[in-house]
Structure 1
């Protein structure tokens, strides 16, 4: 340790009192011995200057008290051992008092300057410590990566404390010959401040007193902040994930509620599930009844693997086979099979897949599969997150089946009703109507065979025969209303042509060249046109009706409009209400627009499948 005057003045602490007293005694003894050895011709005033270094060193190093005592001891030694006559102490002489005064003033000034210097150095240290603490706080409490900030914090510590280098390492590190270690342990923090070996004890003590507590507190706060930030980020990501899932599920629920076709729902489920799970490929597949194959029903980014609507054989080692056998969610982390599907998945870069069963009621309908093209397995919660999507898919399937069953049931009711009408019409035509015609013919024969003198009876019989003829005509009208026989004989186009010809108002028909429709659809179209013509004649007072029928893409479109009074309201009750129910029973829809004074337009659309 250097003992230069500047170093002595900048020391932050005094040495122990015994060391200071010993230093003072040694200085006085050495200076007295040196003065005694000088030639006797040396001026006395020059000799007393030899005591100044000791007074300066002791006063600056050990403080004002020991400095003053050293000044007094130096004066006594100078008067006792150097000034003639030696071994004679003369404390009352002017020379003694002058030397004492000079030495005391020098000690007093040196001590005061030393105290002021130490005070300024302490303030500088305090400012440096505060600046270091502020720098470390700004660094450690704001950094997004605490580990990366530790070398910068160590550099600040080395700069402030004047060290060649310093390092802060995680964990507890023992000291070594090349370095000293200061543990930083506060709560859960485990780190070590490493500094060069051989530092002065005051510097090490200052590091222990100033740097270590600040670093411990700041590291603890930084760790807590990092934990809070990480937790908040994780919670935010989870909340964002939940929000995305809920938005996707809400969109799918809207599709299901609006009875969107299942194929569209399947594609939407695959798309939303892929986006929520962050997977590259998703597919909705249906197991066939034979239990050995499945068919893709909805896909997202899966066409390059398997096209939608493809029928595939179940393969061992695939997630679809696993779900089929277990009826539970499952995953495959690697496709190692030799089957065609396994090879194709490997070729397309698929590493792993997670599948969830789609249960409709108690039956296994199909499977939802999410696949990843990254080597890392899909997250552990993937199956749980997929369950809500499969539940919505099952709801869409159940709704579609219920709707399909309802349509089929209504169609069966319509078919049964038409069959009943046809049977009644046939019975009336072949039974009652034929009997009435026979009765009428017999009455005409009796009328012709009666003698002239029974003219009155002949007239009565003739009137009765005409009544029978009228009954036959009315019965024919009733039969046509129950079931138009012309449909069975000639088809829809001739039947509509006959309807238009019989109408009392002009009818313009626009029909396709051929109308190849199943019978129940022909009957429905016929009844709609018949009822519309009746209403246009009776209620709308129209003088012209336009009928337009098109059949394309398995969809029947029928448009009927008149130039009548308008203002028709099906809710008030008319034959159109029953026809609307009939159209709905066949899976179609009918719309009536009838503004007052603007005529009436009837639009009907009925999907059909060729039989």
Structure 2
């Protein structure tokens, strides 16, 4: 309550002067009555102090001038009513020696103190208002992203608070106005803005703006400009971080596809899509350099509809025209083109049809040689693809890695296929040489011995017995040789296919073999040979190492793939690295594009499964003359 009363008394705006005169007169009258009343009940030594209350009130509320006037009136009333002789302005002694000088001196001091308190209160209130104004201006100027847009509301707030209409804050330097004043706002010698003061602004307001408000405005504008620049830098940094994050995510996706070893067409289309999305391009093409032209192997366009592409896969584009692909081929570096209007030819015709205005190409280098080019196209007239050459390099390197990996895989597969084919051919040649060479000679030798045995005279029974024993031994050698040749390349596989061949393997196995063989058509010879030798090797391993009691063999078709499964109930623990021949089987199966899997936990037996895709039309094997001779051959 006391603080509220003080605030009311010391308020900045003074009440009307007439109200002050009336208040002073009323105070003097009330003080005179109070002093007359108190004079009757007590001594009058302190009665002069009563008149000082009105002086204090008027000085605080209306200032020093009216306070001094009230002091003069109070002195007259004090002299008239309270100094002897009473009710008179004269005194028995000289007035200088009366209490009146003391009263005047004390009243003057009180009036001065009250006026000073009022002045200080006004200054404090001005400072508070200026601080509030600076805080509000800071709220407006420092929380905006566009400083130009924040200046009008800041100008209106400044005008309303200072009571000076049409004040205006500007950033640019403006010439001195005829009816006003342009107050420059500088910070460390650099102009940060201008405060335009229109004509008619009171001089105290002008002085207040120049002396006290200008430094705050300068600091605020400088901070606002710095914040605006910081916001721009941060926004640019955020955009750059988002762009880098998008690029890294796209690169990770492409790298994952490369690691998975997907087909080249799928990879190229995926890279084209990622590149087009990142660069906001209209069309993207990945092409391979061929003699005289480039061939499109992957493409993407926002105009693509279903399987129809704006840049068809396999389409060829000439290199003897002015184009990005020919420029990249000539220089081996990224190239850019921004004008197709004056060009002629197949590429220029396509570009004009699609509305292409600019293109950027980056070379694809595989193993140090220029393999192809990736090109992004834009149909807008504005400059596009800033830094596109550098951003494309990461993707072209991944494409080059994928191409190099694909070539390495193709060369490895071809090498493995050649090794397997050479081994099969060697096996067939050995089997043929045994059949046509040693086996036929032994058969002939056996016939000759039979003839000699038949010509021995009856009395020579001992010689006849020896010849008969030799013929029997020779017959055993022929049987062993025939069995050996059948193991090298069984005739039953060539004549009957996989099912009869697997049945023969099961009959010859030292362990019981349970067969579950579906009807399988005749397949390419290399597939049948691979499956046969995989089963033969697996059965041999079971007999030698597994300590099993039974083997289960399953064969059948699953869609477009042939599946073979061999399971046993042995010790398990089979491993590629133990020299069990499994590596050779895996190489043979993978040469055909198949997959061989082994599950062999210790104590839980071994399960071997083979899946081979059948991509060729099944063939019908007709027994050859050599096969018939081989089956008819005998001692």
Give 1:362 deviation, angstroms: 2.2
* Aligned residue in 2 for 1:159: 160
2:517 is matched with which residue: 506, 509, 512? 509
1:299 positional shift: 3.6
Secondary structure of 2:290's partner?
coil
Pairwise CA distance, 1:243: 3.2
CA contact (8 A) 1:567 1:595 kept: yes
1:138 equivalent in alignment to 2:139: yes
- Alpha carbons of 1:147 and 1:348: their partners in 2 closer, same or farther (altered >3 Å)? same
Are residue 561 (structure 1) and residue 562 (structure 2) matched?
no
Counterparts of 1:222 and 1:449, CA distance in 2: 128
Choose 294-303 or 471-480, whichever is displaced more. 294-303
Match of 2:554 in 1: 547
The corresponding residue for 2:395 is 389
> For 2:226 and 2:375, how far apart are their aligned partners in 1?
41
Q: Which residue of 1 aligns with 2:368?
A: 362
Q: Which of the residues 440, 451, 457 maps onto 1:445?
A: 451
Q: Would the alpha carbon gap of residues 233 and 560 (structure 1) be closer, same or farther in structure 2, given more than 3 Å must change? A: same
Q: 1:453 to 1:288 in 2, by over 3 A?
A: farther
Residue 185 of structure 1: how far off its partner (Å): 1.4
State the partner residue of 2:192.
190
Q: CA RMSD in A?
A: 3.9
Q: 1:417 is matched with which residue?
A: 423
Q: What corresponds to 1:471 in structure 2? A: 477
CA drift at 1:497:
6.3
Relative distance call for 1:590 and 1:523 in structure 2 (3 A) is same
The whole-number CA distance in structure 2 between the counterparts of 1:107 and 1:568 is: 116
- Paired position in structure 2 for 1:456: 462
Structure 1 gap ranges (5+): 1-8, 12-55, 72-91
Partner of 2:313: 309
Aligned-residue offset at 1:232: 2.8
Deviation sequence 1:104-139 (CA, Å, 0-9, x none): 999989877765554343233212211111111222
Deviations 1:60-104 (A, max 9, x none): 99x88xx99xx9xxxxxxxxxxxxxxxxxxxx9989x99999999
Quickly say closer, same or farther: Cα 1:236–1:506, change in 2 above 3 A: closer
**Number of positions where the alignment pairs a residue of Structure 1 with one of Structure 2:** 525
Q: Structure 2 unaligned runs (5+)?
A: 1-11, 15-57, 73-92, 618-635
TM-score, length basis structure 2: 0.72
Give the Cα separation in 2 of the matches to 1:102 and 1:345. 105
Q: Tell me the residue number matched to 2:359.
A: 353
| Aligned partner of 2:235 among 227, 233, 236 | 233
The two structures have a TM-score, normalised by structure 1, of 0.74
Matched, 1:246 2:248: yes
The alpha-carbon distance between structure 1 residues 598 and 362, as it changes in their structure 2 partners (threshold 3 A), is: closer
Query: What is the alpha-carbon distance in structure 2 between the residues aligned to residue 292 and residue 484 of structure 1?
Result: 51
Contact 1:350-1:371 within 8 A present in 2 as well? yes
Counterpart CA distance in 2 for 1:382 and 1:464 is 88
Distance between the aligned counterparts of 1:134 and 1:566, measured in 2?
Answer: 85
1:377 to 380, 383, 401: 383
CA shift at 1:453, angstroms?
2.0
Q: Distance in 2 between matches of 1:283 and 1:494?
A: 55
Moved more, 137-146 or 206-215: 137-146
Per-residue CA deviation, residues 349-368 of structure 1 (Å, 9 max, x unaligned), is: 65433221111012222222
Q: Does the aligned pair in 1 maintain the 2:499–2:517 contact within 8 Å? A: no
Provide Cα deviations, 1:190-232, integer angstroms capped at 9, x if missing partner.
3111121243333211110122111101111122222233323
The answer for the alignment partner of 1:123 in structure 2 is 124
Change (3 A) 1:251 1:147: same
Q: Distance in 2 between matches of 1:120 and 1:601?
A: 99
Contact 1:154 1:167 in 2 (8 A): yes
Q: Distance in 2 between matches of 1:253 and 1:211?
A: 61
Does the Cα contact within 8 Å between 1:437 and 1:472 map onto a contact in 2?
yes
